[in-house]
Structure 1
Amino acid sequence: MIRSILIIISMSLLFVGCGSEEVENFNTSKYVRPIKTYKVTSVKKMDVRTYPGKIGAGKKVDVSFIVPGSLIQLNVKEGDFVKKGSLLARLDDASYKHNMNTINAQLEEASLAYQRAKKLWVANAISKADYDRARSAFNVLTSQKQLSQKSLNDTYIYAPFSGYIAKRHVDNFQTVAAGSPIVSVQDIKDIEVLVNIPESMIMNASATLNYKAFAVFEITVLREYEMQLKEIGTEADPVTQTYPVKFVMPSPEQINVLPGMTVAAKLVISESYKEGAFAVPESSVISDSSGKKFVWKIDEEMKVHKSEVVTDGMHEDKIIILGGLLEGDEIATAGLIHLTENQQVKRLLKEGNKK
């Protein structure tokens, strides 16, 4: 019986020894560990803000006469489309024609007098002073004729560009002063977006010069239309401490956008964090007992190497790396405590730039 027990013990030890050898062989064999990976790319800080805005015409002018008079023809009403150069309105030109006729008659007499004086001056029959008076009278009336003709022409106003009549300021048969608005013409081929933006946001955008602005309309909330900065006001609102900002964009073809409509202005500022800075998943960085930070880099042969890195806090849900990595490096993001130097691995899932 004792012999049987010894045989059993010996066999047990033999099996245990074999098992240990198999474990040892497994641990030292070329086991390829599957791991999640991340491809390193540069990081940018993004600041996104949305502000309420209003639509304005990209081009708008108040058209007026530069001479006074009685309005006798106003050809347009609000909402009409007009082509560049088309007649908008005209004044009663009777008094301007009468003035023109008077000057023409005076000029004809002055011209004859000047021609006579010229002949007499050549013949030494008149004094130099008489000749100069005749010439001066002719020149003055010539200038007056030009001015009179211009005033007569100015009793008509025309569309300065193709667009829509936004507002009619007067009615027919009113007496209008020179320079008073008759109609407002606006071109909505391009539109303006008028927004009030806080000082801090304007300073950020000006400092980085790396921003984009988008218009979002309620009817097409899933679509954004890129805008270009037109101008920034220099005087802040005393209550809100915001500055008036104008953006310009082509009028969307898919929707009917008119001045006065509301719009959301989305401002996205993108700023490089620091040159050579990268953001990596928090799970890819480990610390040793001294507090040093490390990542596991993966080389072209899919082997891992422990690499010390310099960190600089968090950006969103990632750790900022300021040193120890290059753009395009691939690092492990899970199972780091199981990795050993030069260990062979294979990709389970790449988190950055998925393929």
Structure 2
Amino acid sequence: MKTPSSLPYLSLSVFGLLLFLSGCKTDYPGQEPEVADPNAPIPVRMTTIAPSSAPIPIEVGGTIGAREEARLSFKIGGIVNRINVGEGDYVRRGTTLASLKTTEIDAQVRKAERAVDKYQRDLERTKNLYAEKAATLENVQDLETALSVATSDLEIARFNQQYARIVAPVSGRIVKQFAERGELVGPGNPVFFLIGEGQRSYVLRVGVADRNVLHLAEGDRAEVRLDAYPEAPIAATVTEIAAAADPRTGTFEVELTLDAQGKTLRNGFIGRASIFPSRQPAHYRLPLDALVEGNGQKVRIFYPDENGQAASKEVRVTSLLDQSFVVPASELAGITQVITSGAAYLQEGNALSITTTETNETQAAIQ
């Protein structure tokens, strides 16, 4: 605790410090600290932009499967007599894969044939009797109907006899076998799962959002990247577009047929596709440096107005690319330049000092 006698010395010390600080002030003009002029032009760089209709790739992922897939079964039930192929075997179109014991169906065919023969004889005899007034017209008509029914029964029996065996509808590979020789199988129960194989027999099925599916058309090109072949993408073509959305995902299934070019593909490969739509609406591709702030799908950019001052505009973004973002052409009508470097320091109405005017390299590359 300080004594009262020390207070005069403390006051003299503070007074001396103030005199010293006041003596440090310079008397020379031009050495005072500079204060920035709030109205001074702000140096910026600008990029010239132009609308384009070049395709914007739609990035989607999916699973590879065979374009032709078939679960093969017998039309009728019975005992499996022969299994001629196994899982993993390659089969050609028209090859008999399996057959049933045909004892029962063969008997049904013979029975139907005998019935047709009988009604043909009866009808011929009755027609002769009718000519001699010994039979009525009704008798003839009844036998004609009976013969027609018997003929239909014979056609059914022969048709079932034909499908007591399974024939490969396409050339491909047996992926799964569900029955063995001697088993009793019912009509329509799968016996084999066959996938077609060929140069363009594999497809990548992907889900595309509704905002993008309107821009696609059959025949649009695509590139597919697979982990199994990371060195180069595989060319593909849009061959089918779903007419309705999948109720589970809300997306539209698009089928891309792959041009394997000798590469071995398998069901279940995971692929990432870039689809290049042919119905691309006009748009701008702006460099990411032009983006100042964003909220959802809306972002703010700056551009020079007719007086050379900074003006801002909120625009809608439809796609985000590696080094740019996409804005519909209608959002930037009448604007030919956007501010990139220095845009983060601007406010509405700031004077601009343009240091460089560049051409959008991304835009120029796709023109």
Corresponding position: 1:87 with 2:96:
yes
Matched to 1:245, the amino acid is: E
**Equivalent of 1:204, from 211, 216, 221?**
211
Corresponding position: 1:144 with 2:162:
no
Contact 2:210 2:252 in 1 (8 A): no
Corresponding position: 1:226 with 2:236:
yes
Contact 1:104 1:145 in 2 (8 A): yes
Contact 2:49 2:360 in 1 (8 A): no
Matched to 1:152, the amino acid is: Q
Residues 1:96 and 1:291: Cα distance change in structure 2 (over 3 Å): same
Corresponding position: 1:192 with 2:199:
no
Alignment correspondent of 1:174: 183
Alignment correspondent of 1:258: 266
Matched to 2:202, the amino acid is: I
- Note the alpha carbon deviations across 1:275-316, whole angstroms, 9 max, x for none: xx686998xx867866289xxxxxxxxxxxxxxxx9987993
Contact 1:188 1:258 in 2 (8 A): no
5+ residue gaps, structure 1, are: 1-37, 294-309, 326-335, 340-348
Corresponding position: 1:235 with 2:246:
yes
Matched to 1:234, the amino acid is: A
Query: Shift in Å at residue 230 of structure 1?
Result: 2.3
Alignment coverage as a number of residue pairs = 279
More strand per residue: 1
Alignment correspondent of 2:296: none
Query: Shift in Å at residue 227 of structure 1?
Result: 3.8
Query: Shift in Å at residue 40 of structure 1?
Result: 6.8
Residues 1:115 and 1:216: Cα distance change in structure 2 (over 3 Å): same
Task: Give, in whole Å, the separation in 2 of the partners of 1:317 and 1:66.
Answer: 57
Secondary structure in 1 aligned to 2:197?
Answer: strand
Matched to 1:148, the amino acid is: A
Contact 1:188 1:251 in 2 (8 A): no
Task: Give, in whole Å, the separation in 2 of the partners of 1:193 and 1:206.
Answer: 16
Contact 2:171 2:197 in 1 (8 A): no
Return the TM-score normalized by structure 2. Answer: 0.61
Query: Shift in Å at residue 324 of structure 1?
Result: 7.7
5+ residue gaps, structure 2, are: 1-46, 291-302, 318-323, 337-352
Residues 1:311 and 1:272: Cα distance change in structure 2 (over 3 Å): farther
Residues 1:50 and 1:123: Cα distance change in structure 2 (over 3 Å): same
Return the TM-score normalized by structure 1. Answer: 0.63
Residues 1:133 and 1:166: Cα distance change in structure 2 (over 3 Å): same
Alignment correspondent of 1:214: 223
Task: Give, in whole Å, the separation in 2 of the partners of 1:202 and 1:165.
Answer: 34
Matched to 1:91, the amino acid is: L
Contact 1:213 1:228 in 2 (8 A): yes
Residues 1:42 and 1:115: Cα distance change in structure 2 (over 3 Å): same
Query: Shift in Å at residue 51 of structure 1?
Result: 4.2
Alignment correspondent of 1:114: 123
Residues 1:243 and 1:350: Cα distance change in structure 2 (over 3 Å): closer
